Structure 1
């Protein structure tokens, strides 16, 4: 019987039985590692210490300054010293808003600020640079705002936007030459000389012992679409910031809708549109052409983020100059002429053909009692076609002409009535006074549910009913029919004839009741021009509106 082979001793047993041999083995291994590391380190150090020959390298020489040929820098050097930074303070006031109510709703729109309309979201004024947590929300905090402006008189007269200084208790102006920081960091105190809310223009003044640099105002009529322009100002409080772009459109309006009396809230605001980068804080700064002349004042932007999206609006310099000259006058206010009428801003081509003014003119919607037009015998539905013998293109043309005339002067108005040419001598009145005489907005208090009829559903896409007596009394009409329903996609829907409108005429035929309505509608044929004269119970002082189109 064979005995089993003895097992090999483990490493632990060998180390325990031969400790001296194990120690020598470990020391030898460590010595080899240290020796190899030393050799490698010496080789690396030798490589680092070895010098590289760079005698053939040439040093960089900074060239002399070169003036580029685009002219932008020269324009900025000329105009920049006259561009100022404006910051304002509004002292804390007791909030008039009760707890639980939402702030910001427009007068007459209730508490829900969602009713302010899409334009309030898109067209934002440049209060730019408001500091977080400083808005006056009834918590006793101070409100601050930043804007821009430019000096037009060496004695310290500055033009800016009204919304930059509106409601401000303190206004400070910082010149381009003023040092940053230190005493008086906010700038020099300024006072308001005059404001014009309708064009959003303000004139302020700072005291100075030495003449200040000024800009040169140009003629904005010379600015053409495609011309280069520079915007200079203080976006986000960054003074003397310059951006370049082109004039992208002229005579652009921002349609914010009519007020309670049916009058456009921005009737005198016709802008130069530019794609020069404009941001919050640029408001009130100059828009400059390549001759170094100011052709506009940056006023508003089209934005969904309160930042530049390539569409900015500047008030033309010709308007700025005209308003400035009145604001620095003895009364420090703008007085505009008026003949005491209201009219619809835009009319369909079918309306112009039906009333015979397709080549230009303005159809009267409302005659203001006591105004020049009323005294001269003009009536609603008269079409003004000339002023002192000059043909009138549209409502903007008429307003521009009449508003610039002196109160108390007389103008010869040419107009059409039932297609016949007439003239009348009309006395110019004070527009502000006449506007204050208009009746205030009344809410629609009719709760009756009239009986509907089906006439016109097929051709026009509407249902109508007899006009309730309360509505007729409210509007001051003797007859008509009330639109109770508009079919989506119908002819009436396409021409924006809305539910709730009171139709008083169709194609110059009076609509006194449902029977006369059916008679006129039944006679309509395809390709006929159809023009409605309508009134709106929600705006009884708005007068007649004209809605029209061509039947498919």
Structure 2
């Protein structure tokens, strides 16, 4: 017994001595590992990884193909062939516009790619209109490698939101949708997408700003700005919060080089959800309409209208036979509140009215002649802007034109003066507008000899056209009149 006890005692002593020696060698490493700051960073890194691990399976890679038809024309308003080097505006600035013989039409395949994310187990995918709009072929590749052909459920060019659908046999991974109204500036966000075709790419940043609405990208803007790296191919992918919810859809970047410069824009998920719901349920988007032309209130205007500080938006014009007119709004009113909430700027009010279903009654608090008045207005349906599967109906469809108000940013970008006219944002191939030599980037200054400065004014003048439309156009260098027949 004594021998065994002695043996056990020596064994225990040996073990204790070994632990002491090992701890002497490895104690510095252990101390660093147990540092509270390092533990916190490690937990943060694992938290991001966990969010990404759950979100990535619902993010898809989208490939599109479209047939483009192009041709040349004569005169100073020629438009570029896809590979016509010397028709580029850069060279026209030095050598002047080219006069050449009409070229025969030719077709070529245009391929593109982008991102999207699954929002419903039935196969509905949210993405950008500029990714899938007018595409002849849409292919979707899932995280697990499966590929599907997709069909367009509906698109809305004015908000740049589109919904496509794939038919899959089993349940699909779905990305939860958050509440973008609750997002705070400075919050961590994660962008997931396929930049430059590099699938399943993840970048991390913060919310840099909210409510960006004078960028000049879409008709309806309320962007979330982020410094998470976004590049070509990220379009349509989700911007995710640290709870793994999509709070935005990545759609554009501000860049002088074409690549990431620290400023990216995402459509708030609440706006995207509202558009998506209409596209899925109705196949079209119907927007609310007030019927006013509004402008920002600066310090000088605030003093002129008896305000202590700039707030609300000024009603510069009230359209005849509009909901605003019937509801008692007058030119010179300053709209301070909508349904009890302060109106920050013109863009915010325009977006909120647009997302309000026609027929809804809203309460407007206005300042008129120094006194506050409460008005109740029944929202109408915006005329001439209903979109089905991304095609604008009405006279613009006949002409083959898409128009956009000339914001100060767009005026500077294209070399025009603010208020000079209405910008042509898109020309449909083979349309009367294309045949007349009109191309994207031109400015419409007059319609039927009527001066126009906004899309609303342009639309009012166009609706009065019967058999033909007379347009005065400029491209910044040349000005000319164009007649387009409507028959």
TM-score (structure 2 length as normaliser): 0.63
Matches of 1:86 and 1:194 in 2, distance apart?
A: 16
Indicate if the aligned counterparts of 1:336 and 1:403 stay in contact, CA closer than 8 A. yes
Q: 4+ residue stretches of structure 1 with deviation over 6 A?
A: 434-440, 498-501, 540-543
Correspondence for 1:430 = 381
Report matched runs for 1:489-508 at 5 Å.
Answer: none
Q: Which secondary structure state, in structure 2, belongs to the residue aligned with residue 215 of structure 1?
A: coil
Matches of 1:391 and 1:169 in 2, distance apart?
A: 44
Report matched runs for 1:329-408 at 5 Å.
Answer: 329=281, 331-344=282-295, 346-357=296-307, 358=309, 360-408=311-359
Correspondence for 1:238 = 198
Matches of 1:439 and 1:151 in 2, distance apart?
A: 35
Matches of 1:317 and 1:150 in 2, distance apart?
A: 12
Report matched runs for 1:453-492 at 5 Å.
Answer: none
* 1:303 CA displacement: 0.8
Correspondence for 1:303 = 255
Matches of 1:348 and 1:102 in 2, distance apart?
A: 40
Report matched runs for 1:165-184 at 5 Å.
Answer: 165-178=132-145
* 1:281 CA displacement: 0.5
* 1:113 CA displacement: 5.5
Matches of 1:301 and 1:171 in 2, distance apart?
A: 24
Matches of 1:321 and 1:294 in 2, distance apart?
A: 11
Matches of 2:341 and 2:310 in 1, distance apart?
A: 13
Matches of 2:339 and 2:74 in 1, distance apart?
A: 57
CA offsets, 1:304-358, max 9 Å, x none? Answer: 22111111111112222222222211x22222212211111x3321101211243
Correspondence for 1:278 = 230
| Bigger strand share | 2
Q: Which secondary structure state, in structure 2, belongs to the residue aligned with residue 405 of structure 1?
A: coil
* 1:270 CA displacement: 1.3
* 1:204 CA displacement: 0.3
* 1:540 CA displacement: 8.0
* 1:537 CA displacement: 4.8
1:149 to 116, 120, 137: 116
Indicate if the aligned counterparts of 1:368 and 1:438 stay in contact, CA closer than 8 A. no
Q: Which secondary structure state, in structure 2, belongs to the residue aligned with residue 281 of structure 1?
A: coil
* 1:254 CA displacement: 4.3
Correspondence for 1:530 = none
Correspondence for 2:131 = 164
* 1:215 CA displacement: 0.7
* Aligned CA distance change for structure 1 residues 318 and 104 (closer, same or farther; 3 Å): farther
Q: Which secondary structure state, in structure 2, belongs to the residue aligned with residue 103 of structure 1?
A: coil
Correspondence for 2:174 = 214
2:159 to 199, 213, 219: 199
Matches of 2:81 and 2:313 in 1, distance apart?
A: 35
Correspondence for 1:188 = 148
Matches of 1:403 and 1:500 in 2, distance apart?
A: 23
TM-score (structure 1 length as normaliser): 0.56
Q: Which secondary structure state, in structure 2, belongs to the residue aligned with residue 142 of structure 1?
A: strand
State the number of aligned residues.
342
Matches of 1:393 and 1:206 in 2, distance apart?
A: 40
CA offsets, 1:406-427, max 9 Å, x none? Answer: 3123334333333234444322
* Aligned CA distance change for structure 1 residues 384 and 147 (closer, same or farther; 3 Å): same
Q: Which secondary structure state, in structure 2, belongs to the residue aligned with residue 408 of structure 1?
A: coil
* Aligned CA distance change for structure 1 residues 411 and 316 (closer, same or farther; 3 Å): closer
Correspondence for 2:270 = 318
1:255 to 186, 196, 215: 215
* 1:168 CA displacement: 0.6
Q: Which secondary structure state, in structure 2, belongs to the residue aligned with residue 154 of structure 1?
A: coil
2:360 to 399, 402, 409: 409
* 1:404 CA displacement: 3.1
Q: Which secondary structure state, in structure 2, belongs to the residue aligned with residue 81 of structure 1?
A: helix
* 1:102 CA displacement: 3.2
- CA RMSD, Structure 1 to Structure 2 (Å): 3.4
Matches of 1:541 and 1:428 in 2, distance apart?
A: 20
Compare CA radii of gyration and give the structure with the larger one: 1
Matches of 1:434 and 1:112 in 2, distance apart?
A: 32
Matches of 1:97 and 1:175 in 2, distance apart?
A: 40
Unmatched segments (≥5 aa) in structure 2: 1-38, 91-103, 387-391, 397-416, 421-449, 458-487
Matches of 2:454 and 2:214 in 1, distance apart?
A: 25
Indicate if the aligned counterparts of 2:194 and 2:233 stay in contact, CA closer than 8 A. yes
Q: Which secondary structure state, in structure 1, belongs to the residue aligned with residue 108 of structure 2?
A: coil
Indicate if the aligned counterparts of 2:57 and 2:143 stay in contact, CA closer than 8 A. yes
Indicate if the aligned counterparts of 1:92 and 1:138 stay in contact, CA closer than 8 A. no
Matches of 1:81 and 1:205 in 2, distance apart?
A: 16
Q: Which secondary structure state, in structure 1, belongs to the residue aligned with residue 54 of structure 2?
A: helix
* Aligned CA distance change for structure 1 residues 499 and 321 (closer, same or farther; 3 Å): closer
Q: Which moved more, 1:365-374 or 1:293-302?
A: 365-374
Q: Which secondary structure state, in structure 1, belongs to the residue aligned with residue 284 of structure 2?
A: coil
Correspondence for 1:11 = none
Q: Which secondary structure state, in structure 2, belongs to the residue aligned with residue 326 of structure 1?
A: helix
Correspondence for 2:460 = none
* Aligned CA distance change for structure 1 residues 341 and 254 (closer, same or farther; 3 Å): closer
CA offsets, 1:378-423, max 9 Å, x none? Answer: 3322222334455434323433443333312333433333323444
